[in-house]
Amino acid sequence: MLVLEDVHTHYGKIEALHGVSVEVNKGEIVSLIGANGAGKTTLLMTVCGNPQASAGRVILEGRDITNEATSNIMRSGIAIVPEGRRVFSGLTVEENLAMGGFFNTKAEIRKSQDHVYELFPRLKEREHQRAGTMSGGEQQMLAIGRALMSKPRMIILDEPSLGLAPIIIKQIFEIIGHLREEGITVFLVEQNAHQALNLADRGYVLETGRIRLHDTGKNLLANPEVREAYLGG
Amino acid sequence: MAAHNFKHALFCAVVTMVIAFPILGLNLVARGTRVGLEGADASTIISVFVAAAIVFFFQLYRDTIMGNLGKLPALNPLAGREPMPQAKRVKLESWALTGIIVLALFWPFFVSRGSVDLATLVLIYVMLALGLNVVVGLAGLLDLGYVAFYAVGAYTFALLSQYMGISFWMALPIGALLAALFGLVLGFPVLRLRGDYLAIVTLGFGEIIRILLNNWTSITGGPNGIGGIPEPTLFGMEFGRRVKEEGNTSFHETFGIAYSGEHKVIFLYLIALVLAVITALVIRRLMRMPVGRAWEALREDEIAARSLGLSRTAVKLSAFTIGAFFAGFAGTVFASKQGFISPESFVFLESAIILAIVVLGGMGSQIGVILAAIAVTILPELAREFADYRMLVFGAAMVLMMVWRPQGLMPMRRIHIELKRQE
């Protein structure tokens, strides 16, 4: 589905990713964990083409997207839930969702909207409320819902648990598990290593711009190094 | 309670004295070949002191005064009311608008020539402000050089008529399209800029256009401007006393009525009215179309908008281009109305005034912007009685306005998109 081959990314002169290779297969949940500044978000942004990789290749469904424009990439069956939610705070829930399906027809938008309300009944209740006035958890649900509006085959989540209460995090992860059942490929970037690895089919550990470990989620959870560094021993 | 303001108030009073005394209290008098300095008469000096005292006491009790001012909106009888349901409001708005337009159609036949002329100017500003509203209010791009596009529209018509004898109706779309093209061209380099940086670049662009017009003497006539710009014709009928161009007839002869200079003024007013209404309707339509939502999304959160596959380039360029297009419209009408244009008409102050209209009206709100355009254009005219102090009155009115209603006359109320369900 998504393949990164030896990707290097620079911010100006500083190299943030030193040759990262990651593979996400169709229908699986892949988690990427790592400490602050390891380059997790940079990796995601490289997939989205902002900034573009300075070396290596990014391949989405067999198509080389390394040098494509962000807007083009985001219209080819991939959706991202950006870090920190970033909902349109002045727009209502319904309008936020409609923005998510910007390039779809009205009928399609209605269908995906009903689907999102099914996943998040909470959003249905708040349909006409401005997104900025909702709680963090609700905003995160909206951000995920908005990403689902374009009916993506693959969804990328950047720290969906950021700043949320444990019970909300649990709900969010349940939904992510549910997405896999629907056949959506999930690429999850998390600091919350325990939950992310528990859910994932496979996981990668990123450290200062390099892939340090790569294994199934279960094995990584059991790995003493990972336990030491990310799970508090 | 005012004690903590005492130092500040004293300082303000001293500043008032320092500024006012040399300007008002001292006069330069010609004595033969030399210039002498004389003190002004006693009454002026007393009024300077009174002014300083007023400033002192105002600053001393500023909190109380401003606090009371903040409570003033209670004067608005509609303030406490529940907002109307959206369907009802939209209906009421469209009725009110239709009424206003009908009134505006017949109004010029009953008033003086001067008022119609002023009303035409108001309508030109309405067009400009509505256009800038797209760029600043909707897309959130601060453009300080908007007057450049206005100048492009005006000069396009002036030059085309001078060198090729093209009429107003031909020049109108050409002027607007050319202004739009300039908007597009300016759009490219400024795309990656935001906020203050964008403002500075657009400011520079506005100045470049003006300085170019001023110095390209062989084509634009430089500071002398271009005169003899023709008035619009109505199906080949001219409004002058004598027909200037061959093949045209004159309006008053065709209809067998006596010649009157007012016909021309009213005709121009009506053209401006129609164009302003078209501008308002087109932009209103655009606001509800996907492109309008894309502008808002990009203004709200650029990263989120891009993550949804919106192209930053396309969205920003479309806002710039459409805004510039309507400025070109307004410029063509302006050139035709004045009959003479020079770079003097397109200074930075114009950009600032148009921006002030958008901010005063409430960013993004069309009705607010129209009201503000009327207020800002007419207020300086009404204040003519104050002679030299007219711009002072204008400035004070703006300051008060911003203290009172920082969100603008009629802040934008978003039209919610409701997806109709077929059940």
CA-based max dimension of chain A? 51
CA atoms in the 13 A half-sphere facing the CB of A91:
29
Predicted TM-score (pTM) of the model is 0.82
CA atoms in the 13 A half-sphere facing the CB of B85:
2
A80 part of contact set with chain B, CB < 8 Å: yes
C-alpha to C-alpha distances, B327 to B75, B152, B177, B226, B398, nearest whole angstrom: 37, 9, 10, 19, 24
CB-CB neighbors (< 8 A) of A74 in chain B: 306-309
Contact B308 A150 (CB under 8 A): yes
B293 part of contact set with chain A, CB < 8 Å: yes
What is the rounded radius of gyration, in angstroms, for the C-alpha atoms of chain B? 25
pLDDT-derived band at A118, boundaries 50, 70, 90: very high
Indicate the residue of A90, A98, A110 with minimum beta-carbon distance to B421.
Answer: A110
The average confidence (pLDDT) of chain B is 83
pLDDT in tens, B47-73: 888 888 988 888 888 777 777 766 665
The residues in A 145-174 lying below 8 A from B, measured between CB atoms, are 146-147, 150
pLDDT in tens, B147-166: 999 999 999 999 999 888 88
Residue B412: pLDDT above 80? no
CB-CB neighbors (< 8 A) of B312 in chain A: 71
Distance CA B273, CA B263 (A): 15
**By 3-state DSSP, what share of chain B in percent is helix, strand and coil, each rounded to 5?**
75, 5, 20
* Count of CB atoms situated within 10 Å of the CB of B62: 15
Distance CA B363, CA B356 (A): 10
For residue A106, give how far its alpha carbon lies from the nearest alpha carbon of chain B (Å): 8
**Phi first, then psi: what are they for B420, rounded to 5°?**
-70, 135
What tokens appear for B114 in the block?
Answer: 């001067």
* pLDDT at residue B423, as a whole number: 41
Domains in chain A, CATH or no CATH each: 1-77+187-233 (3.40.50.300)
The arrangement of secondary structure in B90-404, i.e. its CATH architecture, is Orthogonal Bundle (1.10)
State the ipTM, two decimals.
0.88
Distance CA A37, CA A52 (A): 18
Q: Tell me the domain boundaries of chain B.
A: 3-67, 90-404
Q: Is the peptide bond between A51 and the residue preceding it cis, with omega within 30 degrees of 0? A: yes
Write a three-state SS string for A62-101: CEECCCCCHHHHCCCCEEEECCCCCCCCCCEHHHHHHHHC
Indicate the residue of B294, B303, B309 with minimum beta-carbon distance to A75.
Answer: B309
Out of A79-88, B1-10, B254-263, the most confident range is A79-88
**Phi first, then psi: what are they for B341, rounded to 5°?**
-135, 150
pLDDT in tens, B95-127: 887 888 888 888 888 888 888 888 999 999 999
Distance CA B341, CA B158 (A): 8
For residue B289, give how far its alpha carbon lies from the nearest alpha carbon of chain A (Å): 11
CB-CB neighbors (< 8 A) of A103 in chain B: 309
